[in-house]
Amino acid sequence: MRRNIAFISIALCLAVNAAVVATNISFAQDKSVPEKDSLKPASAFQSISDEKQRSVALFEEAGKVIQHPRCVNCHPVGDRPLQDIAMHPHQPPVSRGEAGMGLPGMTCNTCHGAENVKVVGQAETIKSIPGNPNWHLAPIEMAWEGKTLSYICKQIKDPQRNGGKSLDGIIEHMAHDDLVGWGWSPGEGREPVPGTQKAFGELIQAWIQSGAACPS
C-alpha cells in the first residue's frame, strides 16, 4: 500500500513537472520577438543585387529605430518634448530652451540625471525616470516628429540639418553615441527600440556604403 502511494506520488510529481516545463516552453514561445521589435542585420540585405534598392531597404530597416517613439520623442517638431510610447506632450510641460537643455529654473537635469533611476513613488505609468549625462533635445532642425522616412533620410544627410556631420560622422553618431544608445536601455517601464545599437550602426554603415539612397 505504502509502495503504491509512493508510486502515485512520483507519478504526480512527474506529471506536474511536465506541465511546468510545457508551460515554460509555451511561455517562451509567447515571448518570441514580434516582427516590429526585431531588427534585421545588414547582412540580410546582401541578396538585393540592385545597389540603390539595397540601400533604400537598409534605411527602411534602420527606420524601425529612427521612427520609434523612444527616438522621436526627443526630436519634436515644436519646443516641447514628447513622452511615452503614445508620444503625448511631456509632463511636466517643459520647453527646449537654449541648446535643448530646458529653461532657467527648469532644465532637463532638474529631473533627468546621469542614468535611469527607479522611482520611489507608486505610479501605474512611471516606473523610472530616464537619464543620461548628455540628456537634451535634438535641435529643431533635426525634428523627426510627423515626418516621413523619406524626409528624415534626406534630413540626416544634410549637413545644414544634421549638425554639420559628414556621412562617416553619421555612422559614428548612430553606432556609438551614448545618448542614442539610451534608446536600447531606456529603463524600467519603457519599451526599448528594436535590435541593438551595434546592429543599427551596421545598418547605417551599410546604407551609406551602398550610396545612402533614400526611400521615395
State which of residues 27, 104, 164, 216 lies at the interface with another protein (CB under 8 A). Answer: 104
State which of residues 1, 5, 86, 120 lies at the interface with another protein (CB under 8 A). Answer: 120
Does position 126 bind another protein by CB under 8 A?
A: yes
Give the cell for residue 189: 517601464
User: Whole-number minimum distance, CB 91 to another protein, in Å?
Assistant: 7
Give the cell for residue 163: 549638425
CB atoms within 10 A of CB 159: 12
Does position 92 bind another protein by CB under 8 A?
A: yes
Does position 117 bind another protein by CB under 8 A?
A: yes
Q: State which H helix or E strand residue 117 sits in.
A: strand 117-118
Cα–Cα distances in angstroms (integers) from residue 195 to residues 34, 124, 184, in the given order: 11, 27, 8
Give the interface size with another protein as a residue count (CB under 8 A): 25
How far apart (Å, rounded) are the C-alpha atoms in residues 186 and 73?
12
State which of residues 119, 141, 159, 163 lies at the interface with another protein (CB under 8 A). Answer: 119
Does position 121 bind another protein by CB under 8 A?
A: yes
Does position 91 bind another protein by CB under 8 A?
A: yes
Does position 48 bind another protein by CB under 8 A?
A: no
**Cα angle value 54/74/127 (rounded, 5°):** 110
Which distant-in-sequence residues (6+ apart) come within 8 Å of 11 by Cβ?
A: none
Chain residues binding another protein by CB under 8 A are 91-95, 97, 103-107, 109-111, 113-114, 117-123, 126, 129
